[in-house]
Each structure stands twice: as structure tokens, then as C-alpha cells.
Structure 1
Amino acid sequence: MAPTDCYSFMPLPIGPHAVSRLRAARLARSSKPFLARGGPRGERCAGCRLLPSHCLCALRPMLPVRAGVCLIMADIEPLKPSNTGWLVADVVADTFAFGWARTEVNPALIALLADPQWQPYLVFPGEFVAPERVVTDVLALDATYGRRPLFVLLDATWPEARKMFRKSPYLDKLPVLSLQSEQLSNYRLRRSQRDEHFCTSEVAAMCLALAGEARAAGTLAAYLEVFTDHYLKAKQQLPVNGDDAAHQRLRGLLIHPCEV
């Protein structure tokens, strides 16, 4: 097995990732505490945002991923315990997170999109852009330019994402990756008016699969399923069954010895 196929659990706390840092910065600007609507109140784990009794940190995956993800997040998305961009940052080491504002853009985001090591793809439905901007073959374009894929995701509700798309001119020159999937979203933490609307973690998993990162994609999907279970069980004040099918699936994907 090649080194890039080695997977393990992350049992010990590590430094905060990009979404965690963005959340801390957003909290620092808040004039009053953020209370998650409909969720349990009280102490939450800083590593996974869940109640300590339902902590997910011991199941956080650590795996090598060549691709990167750039999350452009609507104002309060980093604060929501149900936000799944956090899970993407848990799994994909090269995850970058920026808050979105209509009147200004973080210079670090512009620099990232211009970094020659990356080939950015704006992930958005192709029906909203000119056909010449739409791409479907991620690997072919990366091979041509020798760059790593960087998937730019608008982490927001669908109405917010459409607004962000229209009012972010710095994204206008990026190729648009339009995902085609027949599966219905499995995301159960927030309601959407349309079943084909995927949560951020689901979109990221599909992008990783297109980039040839099939095992990373499967791990992220399994991690989302376990996170959803922990979140809902905490909300319902029910214990987690760590031996159910979802947990066994995640462990089965992660427990592989590294062979150099």
C-alpha cells in the first residue's frame, strides 16, 4: 500500500483548523453570545462543537489528501454547530476558510486563488453560468497544468449562495465545476426545500471523488453520517451507539496500517 493510502484516527487534540479559526474570529466580533436555534444549550466541545457527552473528536480522521478546499462562508455559518464545512476541514488538511462580505474581500483569498500550485474550481450549478465556463473533467485539467485541485465552495444556504455567486466578481474567471449526481441528499440537520440540495460536506465528498480521491471521499461521507448521528442524539438527549453500522463503517475506512 502506498503512503498516500495510509489512514488513522486522530486521538489527540491538534491545532485549530481554518473553520475553527474563522469561528473564533467571528465570535470575537459578536456583540452578544450566539445561541444555536433548536439545539442543546450549555457547554460544547471546542473540537467538534457537540456536547461533551456526545463528543466526536476521538473519531476525527487523519488522512493524506492532495486536493484542497476553499470555503467562502456566509456570515454566521462558522457559528452554527450543524455546519458541515467544519467536517471538511477536519478531514482535508488544506482547507481554507474565509468569511464573505459584499463590499470587501480578504486579500488572502485573492492570493490563494492566484497561487500557481492550485487549480481552483468554483463549485456551482452549471445552469447559472455560460457553458464555456463549465468543466467536468477535473483530472484532465490538473494534468495539463500540473496543479493541485482547489475546490471553492460557497458555504451558505441556497439563497445566500446565489447572492454570493452574483456579487463576487473575483470568482468570475474561475472554471465552474457543475456536479452531476442522481443521489438525494442524506443531510438531516437542516431542512432544504429541494432534495437535490447537498450540504457542504456532501459536495466536498463528490469533489474529492472527481479528483481521484475515492477513499477520502468515502471517509468524509462516513464521517458526516456519524457526526449527524451524534448531533441528533445530543439534541434528543439519547446515548450514542458506538457500535452501530455508521460507526463501524467509519472505523472500517480508517483502520489501515501504513505500509511505506
Structure 2
Amino acid sequence: MSRYCEDCGKAGNACICQWIEKIDARTELWILQHPSEVSRPLGTARILTLSLPNARLWVGEDFSQHEEINSLLADPARHAAVLYPDEQAVPLSSLAVQNTSSPLTTLILLDGTWKKAYKMWRLSANLQALPCVCLDDVPAGNYRIRKSPKQAGLSTVEAAFYALSQLEGESQRFLPLVAAFEKMIDFQISQMPPGLFERHYGK
């Protein structure tokens, strides 16, 4: 019998399925995951694919020649953007209130450290051909057991929560994403030896 949950892929005692709630979103969510993130026990992309029926995940570093992604992007009815803080990135909050005949249908997230996400974006010519969007006016992330070099760094699931909330104007509907994330973090902290969390993470 496997030690790992068949659905979330985590060890049996760390299974997150009990905290997952299905959420319908109008916006397609594509998660492009760096290979280094696949085996991380605290990866949050799985919360998104379990919670959102229209979320999809692909693993790789250079997606330029990815046949499935390129085929999907070729659909003229699909209007995709990459959530990435490029210099030309448009704030999602302003995009959401614009009266446009071509609303954003697909949001692409890069799942990796800042350095790995930058490399994925630079290598993937098909992503660079898409418009970039960014989050604005959001609080710092709460990834308490994984340090980010940026003070306002967000986990992938937090970034998705804020992005979908801004795009669809219903943050309350997407709160289960953050709730599952918080419970996962709380469980991991509870499994640490006494004092370890305080010594390593300064809390």
C-alpha cells in the first residue's frame, strides 16, 4: 500500500485532501511548474489543481516547443496572459475593470523560485509573446516556512487567490484556496521539533 495519497501526492499523514473545496472559476488557470518544485513537500500548486476544475499543470523549464500549450494558445477565442512582473506588465486590478471585448480567459502562473521563474520566462519564447500582468496592492505572503528573497513574495496558491479575486471580483469565493494553504502550513509547523520553527524562521 502506497505511503502517498493518490490524489494530492503527499505522504499519508500530510494529505491535504481533507481541506480541499471545489471552486468554479471563469478564468482558466495554467500552472507551469519548474522541475525543481515537483518533489517539494510544501509545494502549493497541487492545492490549485485539486480545487479548480479548470486548472492545468505542466512541468518544464523551456515551453517554447510545447505542442499542447502552443496548440491551445493558437485558439483565437483564448486570450492568455502571464502573471509575471515584467516592466510592461499591466496591473490585474485595472485590467479587471476595463470594458473590453476581449476579456482575459487564461492566466498563466510560473511555479518556482524567483530565479527559476525568471529563467522559465526568458527561455520560453511563446510566453514572451503574451502580455504580462501583475498584482498590485496585495499584502505580503504568509509562506512562513519557506523564505522568499522578496519581502512581498507570494506562494503560487496565494498569487492565484489574489489574481482570481481581482479578475472575477469575488475574493470570498476563492478563500478556500488560502484556507487549505494555511492548514497545510500549520500542520507542517506542528510536526517540527520544539523550537525549530522559531530558530530557523524567526517567529
Aligned to 2:197: none
Contact map agreement 1:68 1:148 (CA 8 A) in 2: no
- Equivalent pairs, count: 191
Contact map agreement 2:33 2:58 (CA 8 A) in 1: yes
CA separation of 1:232 and 1:46: change in aligned 2, threshold 3 A: farther
TM-score normalized by the length of structure 1: 0.65
Q: What are the within-5 Å matches in structure 2 for residues 1-260 of structure 1? A: 43-102=3-62, 105-125=65-85, 128-129=86-87, 131=88, 134-136=90-92, 137-140=94-97, 143-145=100-102, 147=103, 149-212=105-168, 213-236=170-193
1:76 partner SS: helix
2:71 partner SS: helix
2:35 partner SS: coil
CA separation of 1:90 and 1:156: change in aligned 2, threshold 3 A: same
Q: Kindly state the Cα deviation for residue 140 of structure 1 after the two structures are TM-superposed.
A: 4.8
RMSD over equivalenced CA pairs, Å: 2.5
Contact map agreement 2:31 2:45 (CA 8 A) in 1: yes
Q: Kindly state the Cα deviation for residue 197 of structure 1 after the two structures are TM-superposed.
A: 1.1
Contact map agreement 2:23 2:174 (CA 8 A) in 1: no
Aligned to 2:200: none
Contact map agreement 1:54 1:234 (CA 8 A) in 2: no
Larger radius of gyration: 1
TM-score normalized by the length of structure 2: 0.81
For residues 220-253 of structure 1, the C-alpha deviation after alignment (integer angstroms, 9 at most, x for no partner) is: 111211121223334559xxxxxxxxxxxxxxxx
For residues 58-106 of structure 1, the C-alpha deviation after alignment (integer angstroms, 9 at most, x for no partner) is: 2211122111111111113122221111111111111111222338532
Runs of 5+ consecutive residues of structure 1 not aligned to the other structure: 1-41, 238-260
Contact map agreement 1:73 1:100 (CA 8 A) in 2: yes
